[in-house]
Amino acid sequence: MKISELALAAQVSVKTIRYYEQIELLSAPVRTDNGYRHYQQKDIETLIFIRRCRELNIALDDIKRLVDTQQDPKSSCLLVDNIIVEQLARIQQTQRELALLEQSLATLASCCKSHQIKDCSILQSLKSPSVIT
Protein backbone atom coordinates (compact mmCIF):
# COMPACT_ATOMS: atom_id res chain seq x y z
CA MET A 1 0.00 0.00 0.00
CA LYS A 2 1.09 3.59 -0.57
CA ILE A 3 1.97 6.03 2.19
CA SER A 4 -1.34 7.91 1.80
CA GLU A 5 -3.26 4.65 2.27
CA LEU A 6 -1.17 3.79 5.31
CA ALA A 7 -1.80 7.22 6.80
CA LEU A 8 -5.54 6.81 6.34
CA ALA A 9 -5.59 3.28 7.76
CA ALA A 10 -3.52 4.19 10.83
CA GLN A 11 -5.13 7.63 11.30
CA VAL A 12 -1.83 9.53 11.25
CA SER A 13 -0.46 12.07 8.81
CA VAL A 14 1.95 11.30 5.98
CA LYS A 15 4.35 13.76 7.62
CA THR A 16 4.20 11.76 10.86
CA ILE A 17 4.97 8.53 9.02
CA ARG A 18 8.00 10.08 7.35
CA TYR A 19 9.17 11.45 10.71
CA TYR A 20 8.82 8.04 12.39
CA GLU A 21 10.86 6.51 9.58
CA GLN A 22 13.50 9.23 9.96
CA ILE A 23 13.92 8.56 13.70
CA GLU A 24 13.77 4.80 13.02
CA LEU A 25 10.64 4.27 15.07
CA LEU A 26 9.06 2.74 11.98
CA SER A 27 11.09 0.45 9.73
CA ALA A 28 12.04 1.80 6.33
CA PRO A 29 9.58 0.50 3.75
CA VAL A 30 10.37 -1.47 0.64
CA ARG A 31 10.72 0.80 -2.38
CA THR A 32 9.07 -0.06 -5.68
CA ASP A 33 10.90 0.30 -8.99
CA ASN A 34 9.57 3.82 -9.39
CA GLY A 35 10.80 4.80 -5.90
CA TYR A 36 7.45 4.80 -4.11
CA ARG A 37 7.29 3.51 -0.58
CA HIS A 38 5.35 0.25 -0.25
CA TYR A 39 3.89 -0.64 3.14
CA GLN A 40 2.44 -3.81 4.63
CA GLN A 41 -0.24 -4.70 7.18
CA LYS A 42 2.37 -4.87 9.97
CA ASP A 43 3.14 -1.19 9.34
CA ILE A 44 -0.49 -0.30 10.06
CA GLU A 45 -0.32 -2.26 13.31
CA THR A 46 2.94 -0.58 14.31
CA LEU A 47 1.59 2.89 13.57
CA ILE A 48 -1.60 2.25 15.52
CA PHE A 49 0.53 1.01 18.40
CA ILE A 50 2.68 4.15 18.26
CA ARG A 51 -0.39 6.40 18.01
CA ARG A 52 -1.97 4.75 21.06
CA CYS A 53 1.28 5.15 23.01
CA ARG A 54 1.42 8.84 22.05
CA GLU A 55 -2.20 9.21 23.23
CA LEU A 56 -0.93 7.98 26.61
CA ASN A 57 1.79 10.65 26.40
CA ILE A 58 4.55 8.04 26.37
CA ALA A 59 7.87 9.49 25.21
CA LEU A 60 9.19 8.52 21.79
CA ASP A 61 12.30 6.91 23.32
CA ASP A 62 10.10 4.67 25.44
CA ILE A 63 7.89 3.86 22.46
CA LYS A 64 11.00 2.84 20.53
CA ARG A 65 11.92 0.50 23.37
CA LEU A 66 8.38 -0.92 23.37
CA VAL A 67 8.46 -1.46 19.60
CA ASP A 68 11.90 -3.11 19.81
CA THR A 69 10.81 -5.34 22.70
CA GLN A 70 8.10 -6.88 20.55
CA GLN A 71 10.73 -8.40 18.24
CA ASP A 72 11.24 -11.23 20.77
CA PRO A 73 7.82 -12.53 21.83
CA LYS A 74 9.36 -14.89 24.40
CA SER A 75 11.23 -12.19 26.33
CA SER A 76 10.06 -10.86 29.68
CA CYS A 77 7.58 -8.01 29.68
CA LEU A 78 9.26 -6.40 32.70
CA LEU A 79 10.44 -3.51 30.53
CA VAL A 80 6.87 -2.91 29.35
CA ASP A 81 5.60 -2.98 32.93
CA ASN A 82 8.29 -0.54 34.05
CA ILE A 83 7.62 1.93 31.24
CA ILE A 84 3.89 1.97 32.03
CA VAL A 85 4.44 2.28 35.80
CA GLU A 86 6.90 5.16 35.26
CA GLN A 87 4.47 6.88 32.89
CA LEU A 88 1.68 6.51 35.45
CA ALA A 89 3.92 8.10 38.10
CA ARG A 90 4.70 11.01 35.75
CA ILE A 91 1.00 11.56 35.05
CA GLN A 92 0.16 11.43 38.75
CA GLN A 93 2.88 14.00 39.48
CA THR A 94 1.54 16.23 36.73
CA GLN A 95 -1.95 15.93 38.20
CA ARG A 96 -0.65 17.02 41.62
CA GLU A 97 1.11 19.99 40.04
CA LEU A 98 -2.01 20.93 38.09
CA ALA A 99 -4.12 20.73 41.25
CA LEU A 100 -1.75 23.19 42.97
CA LEU A 101 -1.87 25.44 39.92
CA GLU A 102 -5.67 25.31 39.94
CA GLN A 103 -5.74 26.20 43.63
CA SER A 104 -3.40 29.16 43.09
CA LEU A 105 -5.43 30.46 40.17
CA ALA A 106 -8.71 30.05 42.06
CA THR A 107 -7.25 32.02 44.97
CA LEU A 108 -6.10 34.76 42.62
CA ALA A 109 -9.43 34.85 40.79
CA SER A 110 -11.34 35.42 44.01
CA CYS A 111 -8.97 37.83 45.76
CA CYS A 112 -9.54 41.02 43.78
CA LYS A 113 -12.48 43.15 44.82
CA SER A 114 -11.13 46.32 43.26
CA HIS A 115 -12.27 47.75 39.99
CA GLN A 116 -9.12 49.74 39.39
CA ILE A 117 -5.64 48.61 38.40
CA LYS A 118 -4.00 50.65 41.17
CA ASP A 119 -5.78 48.53 43.81
CA CYS A 120 -5.76 45.19 41.99
CA SER A 121 -4.96 42.39 44.45
CA ILE A 122 -4.17 39.96 41.65
CA LEU A 123 -1.44 42.17 40.23
CA GLN A 124 -0.05 42.84 43.69
CA SER A 125 0.02 39.10 44.47
CA LEU A 126 1.82 38.36 41.21
CA LYS A 127 4.50 40.91 42.14
CA SER A 128 5.04 39.30 45.52
CA PRO A 129 8.03 36.93 45.90
CA SER A 130 5.98 34.57 48.08
CA VAL A 131 4.11 31.55 46.80
CA ILE A 132 0.47 32.16 45.97
CA THR A 133 -1.90 29.80 47.80
Q: In terms of CATH architecture, what is 1-72?
A: Orthogonal Bundle (1.10)
Model pTM? 0.79
pLDDT (tens digit per residue) in 70-103: 989 898 999 999 999 999 999 999 999 999 999 9
With DSSP H G I counted as helix, E B as strand and the rest as coil, what are the percentages for the chain, rounded to 5?
A: 65, 5, 30
Contact (CB, 8 A) for 44 and 6: yes
Whole-number pLDDT of residue 88:
98
